Amino acid sequence: MSSEKIERVGIVGAGQMGAGIAEVCARARVDVLVFEKTAELADAGRARIRKSLDRGVSSGKITERERDQAADCLRFTTDLADFADRQIVVEAVLENERIKTEIFAELDRVVTDDDAVLASNTSSLPITRIATATTRPERVVGLHFFNPVPVLPLVELIPSLRTSDAVIERAERFAADVLGKQVVRASDRSGFVVNALLVPYLLSAVRMVESGFATTEDIDKATVLGLAHPMGPLALSDLIGLDTVKSIADSMYEEYKEPLYAAPPLLLRMVEGGLLGKKSGQGFYTYENGRIVS
Active site residue 144: yes
Q: Which is nearer to ligand 3HC, 131 or 240 (CB)?
A: 240
| CB burial of residue 280 (10 Å; 0-12, 13-18, 19+) | middle
Instruction: Work out whether 173 is an interface residue with ligand 3HC (CB under 6 A).
Output: no
Residue 267 interacts with ligand 3HC (CB under 6 A): yes or no: no
- Which member of 120, 121, 124, 144 is catalytic? 144
If the CB atoms of residues 67 and 162 are measured against ligand 3HC, the closer one turns out to be 67
Q: Which of 8, 29, 50, 61 binds ligand 3HC (CB under 6 A)?
A: 61
ω into residue 230 within 30 of 0, thus cis?
no
Helix and strand numbers (H, E) in the chain are: 11, 10
Give me the phi and psi of 97, to 5 degrees please: -60, -40
Q: For residues 97-126, which are near ligand 3HC according to CB under 6 A? A: 123
* Burial class of residue 113 (count of CB atoms within 10 Å of its CB; 0-12, 13-18, 19+): middle
Measured CA to CA, the distance from residue 179 to residue 121 in angstroms comes to: 15
Candidates 262, 61, 171; CA nearest to 53 is 61
Told to check if 230 binds ligand 3HC by CB under 6 A, we report yes
Site string for ligand 3HC, 186-225 (x = CB under 6 A): ---------x--x---------------------------
The residues that touch ligand 3HC, with contacts defined as CB under 6 A, are 52, 55-56, 59, 61, 123, 146-148, 150-152, 195, 198, 230-231, 236, 240, 244
Q: Catalogue the active-site residues.
A: 123, 144, 156, 195
